Structure 1
Amino acid sequence: MDFHYESIDHIQLAAPHGSEEQAREFYKDILGFQEVQKPALLQKNGGVWFRFGFVEIHIGIEEPFNAARKAHPAFRVKHLDGMKAYLITKNVAYTEDDRLPGANRFYIHDPFGNRLEFLEWQ
């Protein structure tokens, strides 16, 4: 990949029951995160955890499930344009947003409808 994550500002995202494989396909196979084993005491709750460097995403199971369409994690990325080109090859649609002065940024949605922001400060 022609980009790497620098830091994360915040994160736990919810997903519906039985969605762990979809989460793996998206966060691991497309975004390049590695799966992290959850502590034994938490495994019974379902969900799956991922890490890329110091960035962690915990996908927790929530019923009833409602996607986070406004609230979102924000990832600082180096070579954001490279990431956009990569996402195109994976058929992942993104929406650019130029309303934050000094930032090149876009949004995508995970398979569950959760909003994710990726940005690079200029």
Structure 2
Amino acid sequence: MSVVGLHHVQVCCPAGSEEDLRAFYGGVVGLPEIAKPPVLAARGGVWFRVGVQELHCGVEQPFTPAAKAHPALAVTDVEAMAAAVERAGGRVTWDRNIPGVRRFHTLDPVGNRVEFQQV
């Protein structure tokens, strides 16, 4: 028995925020949405494909955005992603704490921290 990879990461969201999450993760970031199984779709939330992994946005009540915990998304052009986030009204905070790594943090529409890192 061994772990062979990471299947998905889940961030929490409030009920009714699916369209805002689609606009950010689907529209700004460019992640394709994937269908949730019907029994899970009834709970709300939305899922996205991230390469061979998935990002799940799941409804949690009461909702508190994650200020420290976060998904880190690998991108081929971190400058272009930062520009897209800023055009959409997001705040980009560059982080140079890891030598040789170009990355920034922002907040998704419900306030969860998200990192974008150059690959």
TM-score for both structures, normalised by structure 1: 0.83
* Aligned partners of 2:95 and 2:104 also within 8 Å: yes
Seq. identity, %: 44
Aligned to 2:10, which of 12, 26, 30? Answer: 12
Aligned to 2:85, which of 60, 82, 87? Answer: 87
For residues 6-85 of structure 1, the aligned pairs below 5 Å read 11-85=9-83
Q: 4+ runs of 1 displaced by more than 4 Å? A: none
Unpaired segments ≥5 residues, structure 2: 1-5
Q: Which amino acid aligns with 1:47?
A: G
Query: Structure 1 residues 31 and 109 mapped into 2: Cα distance closer, same or farther (>3 Å)?
Result: same
What displacement does 1:9 show?
9.3
Aligned residues between the structures: 114
What displacement does 1:94 show?
0.6
1:74-106 C-alpha deviation (Å, 9 max, x unpaired): 112212122223333333221001011221110
TM-score for both structures, normalised by structure 2: 0.85
Higher strand share: 1
For residues 103-122 of structure 1, the aligned pairs below 5 Å read 103-120=101-118
More relative contact order, 1 or 2 (CA 8 Å, 6+ apart)? 1
Q: SS at the partner of 1:103? A: coil
Q: SS at the partner of 2:55? A: strand
Query: Structure 1 residues 48 and 10 mapped into 2: Cα distance closer, same or farther (>3 Å)?
Result: closer
Q: Considering only aligned residues, what root-mean-square deviation do their CA atoms show, in Å?
A: 1.9
Q: SS at the partner of 2:102? A: strand
Q: Which amino acid aligns with 1:114?
A: N
2: CA distance, partners of 1:116 / 1:25: 15
Unpaired segments ≥5 residues, structure 1: 1-7
